[in-house]
Amino acid sequence: MTESTRMTIALDAMGGDHGPSVVVPAALSALTRHPNLELVLVGDEAVLRGELPAATDSRLKRLHIQHASQTVGMDEPPAQALRLKKDSSMRVALNLVRSDEAQACVSAGNTGALMATARYVLKTLPGIDRPAIITAIPALQGHTHMLDIGANVDCTAEHLAQFATMGSIVASAVDNIDNPRIGLLNVGAEQIKGNDQVKQAARLLSAGDLNYIGYVEGDQIYGDRADVVVCDGFVGNVSLKTSEGVARMISHYLREEFRRTVLNRLIGLIALPVLNTLRRRIDPRRYNGASLLGLQGIAIKSHGSADAVSFGNAIDIAVLEVRKDVPNRIDRHIEEHLPQGNPA
């Protein structure tokens, strides 16, 4: 799909901590960036219309509303959401993807509910046992893709091999990397280290035809050694949240020190251009938007507390994955790239 091809993306407008107050302005901004994009706001029609700008805004011609009578709570059990919320904004948005009325769905809603509902509605691709969540994170040379970051707490070695295959295809498609470097997150770089699951995954990847470079330690996630870092959802989520916490702590300490004395404040003013550049480079809003890989359709998970800039970035990721035809790329290449194993 080229940049000039018209596409439609469904937005779960009621999901997340802020709902329409964030999704609507993010949608309008995305329509400005992408002239060939159409968006469907899914949610309470009356509430959504109250958030829209004046009717003279030309972007409204490409912004549509699909009413949904229910909302999935951020702390709602996934099974309950799947069973009882069949007219939720999340479910209706995914239904639009299944019926080909939209090419992708973006939601800031309950992660567990989104994964369970997307898996039920869109189904997994042949050869993929479990979908995984992948995201881009800042690195010394641009960014690194990391998966799984929370969808699968317990994984087998075969699942990790599947994640590696999907991650390789995404990095190749999105970043135009011919042969992405795949690293397996472990407690050490030596072959003798790691649990049985990781060691077996390493053997599978070594026997396959991916560009597997070996183990990657935690301090190398943000380096330039690997294009894709693979781990189970428990380790991935803890690593990501820990990194976010460290970043907030450093930011807090910097502000605290620059305010401590008059001299420090003066130094802070001199350093302000450098600090602003640094903040832009590592701004988590730039990396908001994680893809649910392994499904027969595109579903993007935005952070629940995302602001309009963050949610807009998640929409941009959906646009890119539609243009790059990510699910079909995975489907076409899964047999060629997937190391042999028997998923459980």
**Does 209 score more than 50 pLDDT?**
yes
**Does 344 score more than 50 pLDDT?**
no
If you average pLDDT over each of 171-180, 190-199, 285-294, which comes out highest? 171-180
- pLDDT the model gives residue 1: 65
**Does 342 score more than 80 pLDDT?**
no
Residue 101 identity (one-letter amino acid): E
Give the rounded percent of residues in the chain with a pLDDT score beyond 70.
94
Domains 1-128+294-344 and 132-285 are alike in CATH topology: yes
pLDDT digits (tens, 9 = 90+) for 54-99: 878 888 999 999 999 999 999 999 999 999 999 999 999 999 999 9
Q: Are strands 228-230 and 63-67 parallel, antiparallel or unpaired?
A: unpaired
Task: Give which of 88, 94, 96 is closest to 44, Cα–Cα.
Answer: 88
pLDDT digits (tens, 9 = 90+) for 126-141: 888 889 999 988 888 7
Domain positions in the chain are 1-128+294-344, 132-285
pLDDT digits (tens, 9 = 90+) for 1-43: 666 688 999 999 999 999 999 999 999 999 999 999 999 999 9
Q: Taking the domain 132-285, which CATH number applies? A: 3.40.718.10
- pLDDT the model gives residue 341: 44
Task: Give which of 65, 63, 11 is closest to 37, Cα–Cα.
Answer: 63
Residue 157 CB contacts under 8 Å (≥ 6 apart), including other chains: 197, 198, 199, 200, 201, 203, 204, 341
**1-128+294-344 topology per CATH:** Isopropylmalate Dehydrogenase (3.40.718)
Q: How many CB atoms lie within 10 A of CB 109?
A: 27
Average pLDDT of the chain is: 88
Q: Given strand 7-12, what is the order of strands in its sheet?
A: 63-67, 37-43, 7-12, 104-107, 298-301, 290-293, 132-139, 142-147, 228-230, 181-185, 211-216
Mean pLDDT within 244-253 = 83
